[in-house]
Amino acid sequence: MLDAATEKLTTLWEHAISIWLSGGWAMIAIAAVSLVMFSLGMHILLRLRAKGFAKVPEKKWRKWINHPEKRKGHIGEILDFVTGGRTLKDTATYFEELRASEIVPFERDLLVMKICVSVAPLLGLLGTVTGMLATFEALASGSGGDKTMGMIAEGISEALVTTETGLVIALPGLLFQHILKRYYERYKAFLAHLETVCNQKLYKKIHKEEKPKVEQVAFTAG
């Protein structure tokens, strides 16, 4: 049973390699693009999951704002960083720095991934053009024998294989990039909501501290 499965996998692997090699040099470029695209996608996914924002309920991190000793994980580190200000302007500055370090790298990597998704079918199309050129060259130079037919078949094979591979790489890449973009938008919305809550709590704290002083000044003046 195991030997039969191994033999079948070996046959499939050799068949896949044969198809891959028949695509010509464009397949190397498509392979490089797909490697960069999916590696970058997995890197983005792991980094977003490591943020842990979806695992911490809002009720919990709201408590963490007023109780620093209970903060944990990456959300706790974020709160340690953004709640150090004494004024709303300080908090805005901290969140601006936070977005520069947390959001900008994701935007850059998602843009690179989007470019890779766009480039994959174009490389397939380029392979199609070179394959068709090889086919026409064989038709123009050959005499119609088996050798000429073989060259024509190689050219058509190269054209079709590169087109198909480019689309096979681009379609799952597009879906993967879309899922990551939605995940990233959730994290971005979480940071925006966190900033609003932190500003509200700081405003109440400042207002609470200033109220007795205002009443004392008014009493002294009266």
144 pLDDT higher than 70: no
Q: Is 1 helix (H, G, I), strand (E, B) or coil?
A: coil
DSSP H helices in the chain: 2-22, 26-51, 58-66, 73-82, 88-102, 104-141, 146-221
Task: Note the pLDDT tens digit of each residue in 157-179.
Answer: 888 888 988 999 999 999 999 99
Dump pLDDT digits (tens) for 123-142: 999 988 988 888 888 888 76
The separation between the first and the last C-alpha atoms of the chain, rounded to the nearest angstrom, is 98
- Taken as a whole, the chain contains a residue count of 222
CA atoms of 195 and 78, how far apart (whole Å): 11
89-132 residue pLDDT tens: 888 999 999 989 989 999 999 999 999 999 999 999 998 898 88
- pTM exceeding 0.85: no
CA dist 129 and 126 (Å) reads 5
User: Residue 48 above 90 pLDDT?
Assistant: yes
- Picking from 29, 56, 32, 39, the residue whose alpha carbon sits closest to that of residue 180 is 39
